[in-house]
Every structure is written in structure tokens, then in C-alpha cells.
Structure 1
């Protein structure tokens, strides 16, 4: 009889690329139950769908002010709803995604243990906002320090973030990057003008407008944006910018399963993320790996984790900074031959930079917990 594994995430699991990789990895081997928002991901034995609930603001704020952190955690509606849905169910192991699920996972007392997969450095998640840093940052730090060492194993998304968790919590933390599954594609010929692309959220702190301004300033490229409507007001602003300049096009987002083939028709993936907080400064985003699987060259900001991979594999150019002028400087100096070489490098490194090797890391941790 297959052992029972719970994968819990306070996210829409069927659309959460990282969690979905876990589901697809473990459903052939274990009896998998998922608990999260939205419909069931394909292949699971059971899905416990949670409904979004509003945090009881004043009470929660008061508890955090008093540093009643444990009470604050168990007051969270998502935690309470999940605890109710999971009551009475027994599991051999639990894979808990992000720190807000970890105390709950441990409270369920799975027979063999808990693996925590943490997608950000939570104690400094929004440190650029002083009220958040003062009230919520310490609560997240308390959660991490209290609960991560109690897990059988822990992983996160990049080496620098893993190091910070180890320093702050004492837990040993492995790394599973947000690598994209391998795609059997080939680079397309470089267009004239060179075609840039960016996909992701429309949040204004993602610096997308600087990318727009940089492309317009360079004057030798086009830019296509595939943006989700997380920040509707800013998305409308970007659409207005696109109407004013034919070099810029804003598209609706495409389903993730269609994204890589959509990106394959472009030349360079671009991502300039300003280091406004610890996570942004040490980001190793899935879009970098999406660009590689799409066989694109890349232009990225000088974020250490991204820069290391781009430089080691010769995938593209690391901009000198995060501004429109920094991007324009890079674009003005590019030739079609260079871009074709970058695309060829992505093709050459696509297998090693795919999710294949990363999935083995999760597999090792869960197999060890299961005693196999």
C-alpha cells in the first residue's frame, strides 16, 4: 500500500508552478492529498479546497503588538480553515510549502515527519515598508526560528537565502531552484529588430516601466509583455504606454503550459529587479529558467544569483544597474550575432538548467523521511 503524503500550500496549487512540480513528482509514488486554494491538481488522491478568508485585522494586529505570536498564527483564517479540513486525517509525511503552513503541518503529527519548502526569505519579505518591518517581520522570524528546526528537512530557492535561514534559525537548509521542466525546443533565428520579452506579474515594484523606458531609449528593439493583472492600475498604465509607442506590446497572460512555446518566438528575455529588499536582492526567479527553456538569450539586472548563472553559462548580458539607461546601454551595444550566440548557449545548457536535477533533491529528502 502506498504511503500517504500531504502537500499543503496556501496558494492555488493547480496554478502554482513550484508546488505543481512537487505534485507531479510525488503522485506516481505516493497517495497524495493536496490542501490549498482552487481546484484539484491532476493526479492527486484527494484535494481539500480552501476558500479565501479575510484576516481579522484589529485582533491580529493587537496580538502581534503584544508579541503573542503563537496566538496570532492560530487566529489566521487560512490556518483555521485548513486545520478544520484536515482534522482526523492521517499522513506518513507532509510537504509544507512556505512558513505559514509549517506550524500547522507539525501540529498534524505525521507519522514520519515534515519537509518544509520555503519560497522566500519571509522575515524580510516586505522590509522596504517600515510598518511591515516593525510588526510582521519579527513575527515571521519567530515562526522560522521556532518551527523550521523541528522539521526533518528544509529547502528554499537560492543559496544566499538558504544561508540566511541557516544563520537565523540553526536549521540546515538545502536549495531547490525554481528551474523550469525541460522543453525539447530549438532557438529561433534572431529577428530584425531584436525582440525582447518579459512575463510575470504587473506589480509596479517589479520595475517593468524601467524596462519599457530602456527599450524606447535604445530604439533598436521591441518589447512584448505578458503580464498578470496583480496590479490592475499599473497594468492599465503600462497598456497606455504601449499605445503611445509601437515598440511596446502588452499581451494578456498565457497559461503556464503554453508559456515556454510562446516565449520561444522571441530573442531576449529581460528582467531588471531592483534590490529594494533582501529577497529582490537575492532572487533566482523561475522566469530566468523559463527564458533558458525557451532558448532565449537574457538581459538581467546585477542580482548576484542571476548574474552568476548568466555569466557561467554565457546566456546573455548582466546590466550594470537597474535603470532604463542601464538597459538602453546594453541594448545599444548588442549585435544579432551576439544574440544568436546567447540563444545557442541557452540551448546548450537547457538540460542542466532544467528542473530535472532539482526534482531529485526533493525526491531525496522525501524518500529519506519515508525511510525508503
Structure 2
């Protein structure tokens, strides 16, 4: 049986994208997972990395002097992984490496057939809104991509915009596997007044979530908005809560476990998925919440983000705003009718199969099978 190792420096049980990989391959290959937290699936062997180990460069000296190889191998998560995996070098057939921070480790493991890279962001511009990140970490990320990506047997990422940028900057072919949710057979629930709006996600200041709150001002009785946010930056959720208290119809709702998220989204009529273009990754995002809305049979309103706009327009599942600001959102929301929202919901129902995880993961299935079935190189040299 082909031996497949799935590596991610994340908590695997709460990483939806990696969970989809594990579920897809656990019954097809002899799978070993490497990451934080407990074993993520009963059908896999698991190598648990120690809590508190860091998968981000600790050494400012290494970054300042651009000694990137040293910066990588000095990371505590990488050191722990090397210690625990030393006796497995050359024993795997395929490694599926998640994100750029696992790529040198995957090459060091020297799988017999090769490495597939799954890139969850466009890494060289992930936090480009932070000046110190642009100065010190972005060059390190470009080094990782430049030195490792050409050695990958195949590569996937989360949206067409990111795939084009990886291809343009590093000369590699990249396919797309979106963050689609698993298919659900849910009913289309009729829309009544007031129209219920939802935004879910991580509370980060560069997403300018204040605009959503301001967009509801003056729509009393017509629309209400719940924000279901995960904390990310100290004080930001509290700041949003104070703003929400001033606008009738806006409330903060406690997050729910991931396995209940689609059912929770289905309680609403429209999902607001509006991001400013404050970073390249936000501009070209195709976030989980877009696909959770489809499986929940709710409409969506998105900003002028090209990848999201393409999906929404192609399937008729919602509206694309001319700008990602409060004024554009307010105008769209004020003009909404239950009949129009019901049409979006019916379109979401029709698109739920094509926009499901089950459809998307076929690209991973083909990529890993192609590596596993090919004699390939005997091993790959680490960056």
C-alpha cells in the first residue's frame, strides 16, 4: 500500500482544509499525519508535535542577515519534527506538504515518489499590510518558494488569483482546490422580513468589519446582522461590540463548532462576504464562508474581489458590490427584497453539488495518484 505522509504545522483536528485531505486519503493509502494536537482520524498513524513549538522564524538575527536556511531549521516545530521523523527519511512514497513552512521538511524526508505542495495563501504577501513583515519575512517566504517549489511534483492552492501569481513569480504550474464545504442536502428556506444577514470569520482589523456594522444603520425593520467572529487581535472584537451596540439590528453571536457551522448559516438569508483589498490575499480570496453559504442555501453579497465575483456571477447566487465599503453595502441591502433573496437561495441549491468539497478534492485525488503511480525520482534534495 502506498505510504502517504500529510504534514501541516497546524492543529489538524481544527484545520478544515487538512481535514478534507485526511478524510480523502485515509482509506486509500497508508497515511501518517504530522502536526499539532491529537490524532485527527482513526484510520491514520499520527506524529504529534509538541504544544508550544513554533512554525515561524524565531531568529531575528537570521532574518536580518538573510540566512534563511538557518532561520528555517532553527524553528522549534521543525526541530521537533526532524527529531521525531529521523527514522522515516526515505521510507514514505509521497508527502503532501501544507503551506510553505513545511516544504523544506518535506524534501528532507526524501519520499520515494515525490512531494505535493498545497499552499493555503500566497505566502510572499500574506501579511503585507505589516511593514516589518514586508521587510523581514516576505524575503524569507520568497526564498522558500524560489528554492522549494521547483522541486515539487505538483502544487495546488485555494484560488485562481493565487495560482496565477505563483506561476508568474516562480515559474511553476499550480492547480486550484477551493475551500469548499462538504455537500449538504438542506432545504431552501423562504425569506421573511426582516432579512437576516450573517458574517462569520476571524476578527482582523485589516478586514475593516466596521463597514458592515455601519451599512445596517437606518435599515431598522428591513435587515438585521449577526457577526460571528473568532478572536485574532486583542481588543478588536470588543471594539466591534461597542460599535454594534450603537446600531439597532446588529449583534455579536458566539462562534459555533465547525461541524455545526453550515446548519447555523442555514438559519440566515444572506451571508456578507465583503473584504477590502488591503492585501493581495484578501483581494483574491475564496474563503470558506462563501462555500458554507452555498451549502446552507443562503444568498451571498461579495465585494469586487475578482475570484469571488466570478463564482457568484457564474452561479447567480448573490450580488457583487461595486466597492467594499459601507455605502455600497447599505445601498445593496436597502434594495433587497425577499423575492430576490429567494432566487439566490434557489441558485445556491442548484450549485451546491458543483461547489462542494466532494467535487473540488478530485484535483488532490488525481495529483497524489499521479505521484504514487509514477516511478519518479529516488529522492529530492532539501532546500
- The TM tier, using the shorter chain, reads over 0.9
Aligned partner of residue 217 in structure 2, secondary structure: helix
Aligned to 2:76: 77
Aligned to 1:52: 52
TM-score, normalised to structure 2, is 0.93
1:32 aligns with 2:34: no
Corresponding residue number in structure 2 for 1:66? 65
After the TM superposition, which segments of 4 or more aligned residues of structure 1 sit over 4 Å from their partners? 54-57
Q: Which structure 2 residues correspond to residues 83-122 of structure 1 after superposition, within 5 A?
A: 83-89=82-88, 90-122=91-123
Matching of residues 153-172 of structure 1 within 5 Å: 153-172=154-173
Residue 371 of structure 1 and its aligned partner are, at CA, apart by 0.4
Equivalent residues in 2 for 1:208-223, closer than 5 Å: 208-219=209-220, 220-223=222-225
Question: Superposed, which structure 2 residues align to 1:132-211 within 5 Å?
Answer: 132-211=133-212
Deviates more, 1:41-50 or 1:111-120: 41-50
Q: What are the Cα deviations for residues 94-132 of structure 1, in whole angstroms up to 9, with x where unaligned? A: 100000001100101011111000000011111122221
Q: Specify the alignment match of 1:239 in structure 2.
A: 241
**1:137-164: CA deviation from partner (whole Å, max 9, x where unpaired):** 1110111011011011111011111111
Instruction: State the match for 1:296 in structure 2.
Output: 298
CA distance in structure 1 between the aligned counterparts of 2:146 and 2:164, rounded to whole angstroms: 14
Residues 177 and 360, structure 2, Cα contact 8 Å, conserved in 1? yes
Aligned-residue offset at 1:243: 3.5
276 and 12 in structure 1: CA distance in 2 versus 1, 3 angstrom threshold:
same
**Contact 1:263-1:294 at 8 Å conserved across structures:** yes
Per-residue Cα deviation, 1:312-370 (whole angstroms, up to 9, x for no partner): 11111111111111100110111111011111110111111111221110000000111
Find the aligned partners of 1:105 and 1:358 in 2 and give their Cα distance: 24
1:270-293 CA-to-partner distances (Å, cap 9, x unmatched) read: 011111111111111111011111
Alignment of 1:271 with 2:273, yes or no, is: yes
Pair 1:56–1:36, CA change in 2 (3 A): closer
Candidates 223, 226, 245, aligned match of 1:224 = 226
| 1:315 to 2:314 alignment | no
| Aligned-pair CA distance for 1:27 | 0.2
The match for 2:330 is 328
Corresponding position of 1:5: 4
The gaps in structure 2 that reach 5 residues or longer are 375-383
- Does the residue aligned with 2:307 lie in a helix, a strand or coil? helix
Q: Which residue of 1 aligns with 2:380?
A: none
Cα distance, 1:54 vs structure 2: 5.0
Q: Answer 1 or 2: higher relative contact order, Cα 8 Å, separation at least 6.
A: 2
Please say if 1:348 is aligned against 2:383: no
RMSD over equivalenced CA pairs, Å: 1.6
Which string of whole-angstrom CA distances, capped at 9 and with x for unpartnered residues, describes residues 15-70 of structure 1? Answer: 1111100000000111111111122112342111222235897x722112211111
Which sections of structure 1, spanning at least 5 residues, go unmatched? none
Aligned length: 370
TM-score scaled to structure 1, two decimals?
0.96
